[in-house]
Amino acid sequence: MRTMVVGCFGWLLACCVSVWAQEAAQAAAARFEVLLENGVLHRGDGSPGVAGSVGIRGGRISLLPADSKADADQKIDCRGLVIAPGFIDLHTHSDEPLLDRRTRGSVNYLMQGCTTMVTGNCGFGPVDTAKFLAEIDQFGAGTNVAHLIPHGSLRAEAMGKVNRAATADELQRMQTLAEQAMQDGAWGMSTGLIYIPGTFTPTTELTAIAGVVSRHGGIYASHIRGEGTELLSSIEEALEIGRGSGCRVHVSHFKASGRASWGTLRLAISRIEAARAGGQLVTADQYPYTASSTSLEATLLPAWAREGGREALEKRLN
pLDDT digits (tens, 9 = 90+) for 163-197: 999 999 999 999 999 999 999 999 999 999 999 99
Structure confidence at residue 278 as a pLDDT band (50, 70, 90): very high
DSSP assignment of 11-47: GGGGGT-S--B--HHHHHTSEEEEEEEEEEE--SSSP
CA nearest neighbour of 80 among 40, 36, 34, 35:
40
Q: Assess whether pLDDT exceeds 50 at residue 160.
A: yes
285: helix, coil or strand? coil
Lowest mean pLDDT among 3-7, 207-211, 266-270: 3-7
pLDDT tens digits along 42-72: 988 889 999 999 999 998 999 998 788 899 9
CA distance 66 to 24: 10
CA nearest neighbour of 254 among 271, 241, 240:
271
CA distance 133 to 152: 19
> Per DSSP, what are the bridge partners of residue 222?
191, 251
CATH level 2 (architecture), domain 17-83: Roll (2.30)
Contacts of 311 (CB under 8 A, 6+ apart): none
Structure confidence at residue 87 as a pLDDT band (50, 70, 90): very high
Number of Cβ within 10 Å of residue 124's Cβ equals 19
pLDDT tens digits along 9-49: 343 443 444 444 444 555 555 789 999 999 999 988 889 99
CATH level 2 (architecture), domain 87-317: Alpha-Beta Barrel (3.20)
Lowest mean pLDDT among 82-91, 139-148, 215-224, 292-301: 292-301
**Every domain of the chain and the residues it spans:** 17-83, 87-317
What are the two backbone dihedrals, phi and then psi, of residue 203, each rounded to the nearest 5 degrees?
-60, -40
Q: Assess whether pLDDT exceeds 50 at residue 299.
A: yes
pLDDT tens digits along 200-214: 999 999 999 999 999
CA distance 266 to 275: 14
